[in-house]
């Protein structure tokens, strides 16, 4: 990322020197970087979600017994109002068919400059946006730092983005050679570097449960058994199981029924489950997720590099326009940061006993594509189609819109 930012700075310096050697640095900085940019600050406030129905529970009043009149407690979730405040600076060109979404910028705009390989003009574009958000009582810090330079024969782009409430956090940087073919079509090829905090395809608790040990008896026979029986995870988090025997009588036959099981208590001695099965179906599920979260937090962020190609087709007339674009990251990924053993390359290479020895690394393809089409058939009738699809690791993101406009006169 730092190297690409340095490269853009060098390109900018060369461009300034080549075009106007006598222009002052500050004047060049303003005209080439700040001019036509917008500094903004904005925020919004709205009421948070409200429950459809109130939620209640009962508790024993102070000094009362179990069978006295209980106290009814309203436990309906109540959240403070939601808000968002952000500020930044932006300089992003719009394609001819794009319209300014609002009268003022507030940092939430999503333009094609972010996703299409080429831009609406040749030169430097950027957005540096920081914001703080409260959503359903939880606080989040978000940012989007975007820098792109498009030339006749090159594309350089760097981005860092975080949307905390959906656990989206990544950085990317790419450098491509660009080849225009005519005035409307271009192809590009180069390399992209991406980071991700999430260990896609890595499930720590499944790996922990699949660990095995081998026992050899006196005859030399080997037997496999779990190294970590599922219930021992409860012991790790302060729970304990207590063996009990219960005797009852079958009301139909009069026979005596003996039940042997374990009930579970927490670290304070409170009973949380009356049997192993109940513990596994309730408390154990939460412990699995807790264990995974703790193990994921121990991992360093991942960084990988891969070749990327792209295409752009752009045709615009006032009554008809078509913009189609695509990016394809080839299946030749190489991790240069993070533990490769738990990377996406080994997502299907874990089984009983741990990581399968000498397993082939499993490559993958990532890609995105989009289209914007508008046709004003006549003064009163128009149709439009807009859509974008992206596939990255285990995530798929897509949105599409199709519509018809009829103007009545």
Residue 103 has pLDDT above 80, yes or no: no
Distance CA 172, CA 161 (A): 9
Structure confidence by residue, pLDDT tens digits, 383-398: 999 999 999 888 888 8
**Would you state the pLDDT for residue 48?**
87
**Would you state the pLDDT for residue 285?**
93
Mean predicted confidence (pLDDT) in 99-124: 82
Residue partners of 229: CB distance under 8 A and separation at least 6: none
**Would you state the pLDDT for residue 62?**
87
pLDDT band at 61 (very low <50, low <70, confident <90, very high): confident
Average pLDDT value for the chain: 87
For the chain, what are the domain ranges?
Answer: 2-48+79-201+303-367, 230-297
pLDDT band at 338 (very low <50, low <70, confident <90, very high): very high
pLDDT band at 164 (very low <50, low <70, confident <90, very high): confident
Mean predicted confidence (pLDDT) in 107-127: 85
Mean predicted confidence (pLDDT) in 179-195: 94
134-138, 165-169, 211-215, 344-348: the lowest-pLDDT one: 165-169
Strand 222-226 versus strand 354-355 pairing type: unpaired
What Rg, from alpha-carbon coordinates, does the chain have?
Answer: 30
**Would you state the pLDDT for residue 259?**
84
User: Model pTM?
Assistant: 0.76
Instruction: Work out the percent of the chain whose per-residue pLDDT is above 90.
Output: 49
Alpha helices in 211-339 (DSSP H): 232-236, 276-281, 283-297
CA atoms within 13 A on the CB side of 261: 13
Instruction: Work out the percent of the chain whose per-residue pLDDT is above 70.
Output: 92
Residue 142 has pLDDT above 80, yes or no: yes
Query: Helix, strand, coil: what percent of the chain each, to 5?
Result: 15, 45, 35
Residue 336 has pLDDT above 80, yes or no: yes
Mean predicted confidence (pLDDT) in 267-271: 92
Residue 221 has pLDDT above 90, yes or no: no
- The most confident of the ranges 57-71, 138-152, 208-222 is 138-152
| Greatest Cα-to-Cα distance within the chain, rounded to the nearest angstrom | 107
């Amino acid at each position: 990322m730092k190297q690409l930012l340095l490269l853009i700075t060098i390109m900018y310096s060369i461009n300034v020197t080549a075009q106007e050697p006598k222009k002052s640095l500050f004047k060049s900085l303003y005209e080439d970087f700040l001019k036509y940019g917008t500094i903004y600050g904005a925020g919004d406030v709205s009421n948070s979600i409200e429950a459809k129905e109130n939620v209640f529970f009962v508790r024993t009043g102070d000094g009362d017994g179990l069978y006295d009149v209980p106290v009814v407690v309203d436990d309906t979730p109540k959240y403070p109002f939601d808000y968002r405040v952000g500020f930044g600076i932006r300089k992003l060109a719009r394609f001819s068919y794009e319209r300014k979404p609002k009268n003022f910028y507030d940092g939430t705009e999503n333009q094609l400059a972010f996703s299409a390989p080429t831009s609406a003009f040749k030169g430097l574009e950027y957005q540096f946006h920081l914001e703080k958000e409260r959503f359903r009582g939880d606080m989040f810090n978000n940012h989007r730092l975007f820098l792109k330079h498009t030339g006749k024969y090159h594309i350089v782009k760097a981005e860092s983005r975080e949307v905390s409430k959906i656990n989206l956090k990544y950085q990317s940087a790419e450098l491509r050679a660009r080849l225009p073919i005519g005035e409307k079509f271009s192809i590009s090829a180069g390399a992209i570097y991406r980071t991700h905090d999430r260990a896609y395809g890595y499930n720590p608790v499944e790996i922990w449960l699949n660990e095995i040990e081998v026992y050899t008896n006196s005859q030399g026979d080997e037997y496999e058994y779990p190294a970590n029986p599922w219930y021992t995870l409860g012991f790790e988090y302060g729970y304990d199981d207590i063996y009990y025997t219960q005797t009852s009588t079958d009301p139909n036959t009069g026979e005596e029924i003996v039940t042997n099981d374990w009930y579970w208590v927490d670290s304070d001695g409170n009973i949380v489950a009356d049997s192993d099965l109940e513990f596994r179906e309730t408390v154990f599920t939460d412990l699995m997720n807790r264990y995974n979260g703790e193990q994921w937090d121990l991992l360093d962020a991942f960084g990988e590099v891969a070749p990327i190609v792209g295409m752009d087709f752009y045709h615009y007339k006032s009554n008809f326009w078509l913009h189609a674009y695509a990016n394809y990251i080839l299946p030749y990924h190489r991790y240069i940061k993070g533990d490769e053993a738990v990377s996406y390359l080994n997502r299907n290479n874990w089984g009983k006993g741990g990581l399968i020895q000498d397993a082939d690394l499993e490559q993958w393809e990532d890609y995105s594509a989009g289209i914007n089409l508008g046709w004003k058939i006549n003064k009163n009738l128009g149709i439009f189609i807009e859509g974008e699809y992206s596939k990255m690791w285990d995530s798929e993101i897509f949105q599409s819109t199709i519509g018809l406009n009829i103007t009545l006169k």
